[in-house]
Amino acid sequence: MALVLPASVTVLTPATSANLGPGFDSLGLALQLYNRFEIEEGGSDPSNPYIEIHGSLGAGLSRGPDNLFFRSFALLFERLQIPLPAVRIRVSTNIPPGCGLGSSATAVVGGLVAANEWLRIMGLHDLVMPKEELLILAVEAEAGNHPDNVAPALLGGLVATTSVGGKIEAIKTPFPDALKAVIFTPAFPMDTIAGRKLLPTSYPKADVTFNTGRVALLLTALQTGRYEVIGEAMQDRLHQPYRQALFPAMPDIIQAAIDAGAYGACLSGGGSSLIALASSHFTEILHAMQGTARAAGVEGTGKILRADQTGARVIKTSRNRIRKDVRARYGDQFCWSPARPGVR
């Protein structure tokens, strides 16, 4: 029997910024900042992986079986009713958790993409899922079941999402290369659940109309190059004014970004990060945001990022050759692929 290297998959998943002002729970943008996930066959207990986490930003992440990347990896095997392999996981974190940049979405999407690629390298090609089906599972696995972070993390670019008859519809459009995102991330996180509890259960018609008009304006401005209207298009009345209670300095920092040359700025997702869109003066904008925050007693870090147009991708695999002991473990699924549960 030939010696075979362990199967392994490495996935890179981008940060995301949801809402972009008026697109509450429906718009999301992928950014060129990444968490990296490496998973390798090893260990003896499929339900209890060995997990290493690298980077100070990941200090609070679970190293047990409740780790979100592992749970998402295992979800695909569970849904397809095939055995879960025993694995070792290495996570390299560059995206701060709890700061509105889609850290949890990278884990969900990364786990599903890694599992999907695992099926491919094990020869189970008929079970490999298209991205549309992976998105359904990603929304299911994401806390709150919102698609606005997991969709751009999976697809890249600017993604508009909605639910139609219980089915998630996601349409990706390229984000203009002329624009960059200037990100200011305060030293404190903002609890998404706590932020949502501040939102009203219903809204005045005028506020809903205000937001729908600005979503249309924002999407049109981005596609036609009318960047001068982005500032007005990123205004919001549905979530940002209420979340301001958790971040009182937010309006002043947003205004500082605009005064320094940004077209517009807003809260990124549920916060605490702020995102400003600009085509020039990036460093000046970031310094203005940091300076205004510091004057209000808020410390933080900043980044200048391009949009990621690709989404999560597999950057490395090792392919196992099928052998007798592997065939015995997976049974006849190497000879034919059973229909997916619920799929005919």
Tens of pLDDT along 201-211?
Answer: 999 999 999 99
Residue 68 lies in a domain: yes
- Binding site, by residue number, is 96-106
- Binding site for ATP, by residue number, is 96-106
Residue 343 lies in a domain: no
- Judge contact between 274 and 29, C-beta under 8 A: no
CB neighbours of 51 closer than 8 A, spacing ≥ 6? Answer: 62, 63, 64, 67, 70, 88, 89, 90, 91
Pair (96, 184) in one structural domain: no
**Domain containing residue 224: CATH number:** 3.30.70.890
Tens of pLDDT along 4-17?
Answer: 668 999 999 999 99
pLDDT, position 3: 52
Pair (202, 330) in one structural domain: no
Domain count, the chain: 2
Pair (121, 214) in one structural domain: no
Sheet holding 180-186, edge to edge: 264-267, 274-278, 180-186, 300-305
Tens of pLDDT along 228-275?
Answer: 999 999 999 999 999 999 999 999 999 999 999 999 999 999 999 999
Q: What is the domain extent for residue 215? A: 180-305
- Res. 60 pLDDT band, cuts 50 70 90: confident
Mean pLDDT across 174-187? 97
Residue 271 lies in a domain: yes
209 to 199, 215, 223, 239: CA distances (angstroms): 17, 10, 22, 14
pLDDT, position 165: 85
Pair (249, 211) in one structural domain: yes
Q: What are the structure tokens assigned to 77, written together?
A: 């095997």
Helix, strand or coil, per DSSP, at residue 123: coil
Percent of the chain with pLDDT over 90: 81
Pair (122, 250) in one structural domain: no
Pair (262, 314) in one structural domain: no
- Res. 219 pLDDT band, cuts 50 70 90: very high
